[in-house]
Structure 1
């Protein structure tokens, strides 16, 4: 699942921007940084090992004495080039960017002229956010006359960071032109062209800069993206009327940075009322405290300064962020999205959107510790927006840092008690820790905040509260929540299954329960949990032969689930297939049931058979009698 982009682009602009960004990504993958992806699968041709004093800067003068526990150290027996290279490849496959960078640099210490190793190390360093070492490596590659396009891009970024605008323009103009570049400067690449336009502004050539942006906007499909930057450039030189004309177009300015820039432009034009109306009409503004703060200042008659772009370097940072956002907006985020976002962070360290998108991408790649560093930077900037905190809570939860996640959720609900999503996140976190009774009040608060005016928004907290109530032993209230959720979404397979299975497990309303589960199976015919519920409903109704087929499908889908295998054993037993039942119970035991009570029940079935266990439970209020205590041993 793709992380939510920090810089969403209006729908029409997104389609064209996506095509342009993907074309750029294809060029980067095949022409610009060939090793970025190839190194993960290619076999490195091993060359003679040469001693070389390489990358003193890139490796850094200070190395940690002890590696953090999550970064595997190179085994002591690894020597030469092969070991570090293979360790680097494995780390890269696992998206462990910091370890990959260290190992690639170890390999480069053995062979400092291998272009594959250099480019791989550069990709890993940038992905890890270690931009100073990445810049040093890019310089080394350039000094050796083997700079890749990624290395050149890093060098251009460094020129922008240093404000060396004339040098940046020369570097872009010197780039070789592809066959289809025409007369576009810098080889016609859109990123290069936009960087060059901002560099012209930095060099004091405002007229040439605006003309360059306008020329770029004529490229097929590029106008929405380029016109946003043209609007920023116009506002930077004081042409607020021209900037407003561009930003008023939804395909140009209908994203969070565009909304902020337009509010500032309108304020500079003494149109504060229009700015307030624009913010009020912006979807989701109530969940963005910094937009609400802008609105409050405008409502009080304060004139907002135009500081969306303070320097041309900020403009180039937004170029990288735009491309990173588009590349991140697919089901499987392109790894190059993180490269672009890291370059944006390097140029504009206080750009909250860049840190947020980096955090979301790192979450998606499973690098939760690196993601937490980005959230920490947001907190240092005083940018504690709810969307960032919700993403942080998710990252901490997935990193199994549940105590920290719970503290973050409690802090969010304390800071923004009006935010229903914060209470839902807290309830989910408590429920995940089996704190079911504590989760219920969190969902209560969320539902009271949502009210009755947004029924669709009530569906999930009703369903989640129902689960918490059922697990807390309050089934009548849980059943009420499940049925309320079904009124909102009658064809929700999750709710149909949960309510149906709960009724089956309680041996209540079995005919209705079967219909609920059958409908869930129609909606999700391959879901192992739902198939298990269907089989168990048949079991409870005494229709054992009918239960076999769905249960076997459930086991095939969830072979490693102890409970499903246990159910399969019970069904086989009642269908007269005792030997197969015993095999399934043995398998269920080997998969280590979650509860000791479940394991004890399986062992009892293996020793005495299911019939005997059911009889014992019937005479003991539905539970297996506790085992008799072992007699004390005589001294």
Structure 2
């Protein structure tokens, strides 16, 4: 179950939304304004240019900077530069809309409202400025103004502008016209293709006015209520109807509910007889926030979800800051766009609200780690283990972070905790933490425990190539169980014949066993897929030397050095230089005479 999916993707809804709201999607394609003095050709001079910006240096600079910021999804910079561009040409509708997109995306809603008001006062509003104006009417509680703005559309207009119809329904409720509001939602539900989405809002409206029976009957339909907010609303409504056993049974039957602690906490409150309020929406403004959130969710399924989905999610969070799903969607969209500085305040707000979502947090931790923001990832992992100490995935995520930072001894206790929590879980849930703990143990010189973990993991996943490779290579490196070790690595190659790391392991296993000629072919295959890896080039040089191909060995060692190896590459540049100077045999003899241990690099480990 997806924590942020509010409705099933609805192609009719998406098409209507895309038609109803046109944003400056061509921002990246629009040519930059020319400086004064650049004369256009004759044909261009005669062509009408209603949206053309003044050809000034003052506009070109901010416009180009804004374009670059937009390409990089740097919404704060884009907002700053588009606002500067609008100041140079206040009447350019393209620049106005682009500024609004950037301001809303950056979360600067108050500034976007001010700009939208100015656009409306100076002439015909754009589609986006009109949307923002309507959101501001809701934010200020001006229901009369909102109803006047959306009007009373006929059936054809309802189908063409679903958003206006939904705003009217909630606006009527805000104006105290409950019967008219419910009738409006019922009328809108007859538009082809949108009944489930509209019925969800009709259910919320019914519950808000106290018609819990009518609300529950709508949410009982999976097409209407089978999403996290629908489940939450239905459980709260069942509690109002004193059908607590039904509410508990409904929650416990939700697939994947163990990953949704908020639902489990709600179940426990209902089960224990504690008072449970209906608070999915508290006001009509919350209802309109859910409209924007529903549209944002649907737009995420469109071929080009940005910036429409983020704009709707931002407006939802602005209208209803306590709606956790709105903040979560904003945070996740920003995270996907690598805008961590904008996403983090949203995640912080969720934590303060007690609405930290484990699935979303795990994704966030992984994204931060992949982006190299390890300190933030570590803090997020620690926060998750503190908030949900009984969640094994949180401890696995913490262990993985520590292991990726080569803090192997510190990673072991995190995996210990995860495996203790998974003691009664299905075996398949245990193989990866066993494998990961095995790596951490092996790298922290605790091989007996590591070997036991690897063997236990192999019993669960006998065809996991990276697992077979790791144990086989470890045995080879320790000169133990050599025949079985080589069999494990050969099987890993059969399972992943194009994996350069595993081919490198096979070749190096042959090398360690003195089977130099056998090592050549797999190492040459490895280099085809990993030509930029200094370790593989160094290994191939050693193998070539051992089979008498000394000139080729030197070429590979030179190449390894040219790739600027570091400690993280498990390559010693000084040792390579010594091999180039004196030959591999001399270096090995010196190391043997000096009892210098040259440990083999660890095999490549899988991260998932």
Q: TM-score, normalised by structure 2?
A: 0.85
> How many residue pairs end up in the alignment?
579
Contact 1:430/1:436 (<8 A) preserved: yes
Structure 1 residue 447, shift from structure 2 partner: 0.7
Query: Quick one: structure 1 residues 329 and 494, their matched pair in 2 at CA, closer, same or farther if it must change by over 3 Å?
Result: farther
Structure 2: which 5+ residue stretches go unaligned? Answer: 38-55, 600-608
The aligned counterpart of 1:486 is 458
Equivalent residue in structure 2 for 1:152, among 121, 130, 145: 130
Shift of 1:234: 1.3
C-alpha distance in 2, partners of 1:524/1:110? 59
Asked if the contact 1:7/1:321 (under 8 Å) is kept, the reply is no
1:615 matches 2:607: no
Alignment match, 2:263? 291
Q: Give the distance between the partners of 1:296 and 1:212, measured in 2 at CA.
A: 36
Distance of 2:490 and 2:199 partners within structure 1: 53
- Determine if contact 1:25/1:336 at 8 Å carries over to the other structure: no
Match of residue 32 from structure 2 = 44
Structure 1's 208 and 93: CA in aligned 2 closer, same or farther, altered over 3 A?
A: same
* Shift of residue 423, structure 1, vs aligned partner: 1.4
Structure 1 residues 27 and 478 mapped into 2: Cα distance closer, same or farther (>3 Å)? Answer: farther
Q: What is the CA-CA distance between 1:8 and the residue it aligns to?
A: 2.7
1:517 Cα deviation after fit: 3.8
**CA 1:531–1:343: 2 relative to 1, 3 Å:** farther
Q: Which moved more, 1:382-391 or 1:244-253?
A: 382-391
With over 3 angstroms needed to count, the CA separation of the structure-2 counterparts of 1:622 and 1:23, relative to structure 1, is farther
Structure 2 residue 4 is matched with structure 1 residue 7? yes
The yes-or-no answer on 1:88 pairing with 2:98 is no
Q: Distance in 2 between matches of 1:331 and 1:439?
A: 41
Taking the aligned partners of 1:189 and 1:535, their CA distance within structure 2 comes to 65
1:586 aligns with 2:558: yes
Cα separation, 2, equivalents of 1:89 and 1:491: 49
**Aligned residue among 396, 402, 417 for 1:424:** 396
Deviation at 1:184, TM superposition (A): 3.2
Cα 1:566–1:340, aligned 2, differ >3 Å: closer, same or farther? Answer: farther
Q: 1:512-556 CA deviation, whole Å, 9 max, x = no partner? A: 444434444454444433343344344445555665555445444
Pairing 1:340–2:316 present: no
Match of 2:94 in 1: 116
Alpha-carbon spacing, 1:523–1:327, altered in 2? closer, same or farther (3 Å)? farther
Aligned to 2:386: 414
Superposed CA offset, 1:114-163 (max 9, x none): 33322222222111111111222222333343533222222222222222
- In the TM superposition, residue 192 of structure 1 has moved relative to its aligned partner by 3.3
| Secondary structure in 1 matching 2:190 | coil
5+ residue gaps, structure 1:
50-77, 176-181, 626-635
Q: Which residue of the other structure, out of 22, 28, 38, is the alignment partner of 1:32?
A: 22
- Distance in 1 (CA, whole Å) between partners of 2:29 and 2:479 is 54
DSSP 3-state at the match of 2:169: helix
Deviation at 1:18, TM superposition (A): 4.3
Contact 1:157 1:347 in 2 (8 A): yes
Alignment of 1:177-192 (within 5 A): 183-186=155-158, 188-192=160-164
Query: Residue 142 of structure 1 corresponds to which residue in structure 2?
Result: 120
Q: Is the 1:5–1:325 contact (alpha carbons within 8 Å) kept by the matching residues of 2?
A: no
Deviations 1:256-292 (A, max 9, x none): 2112211111111121222222233334444444333
Structure 1 residues 207 and 580: CA distance shift in structure 2, 3 A: farther
Question: Paired residue for 2:286, among 303, 309, 314?
Answer: 314
Matched, 1:23 2:15: yes
User: Normalising to structure 1: TM-score of the pair?
Assistant: 0.82
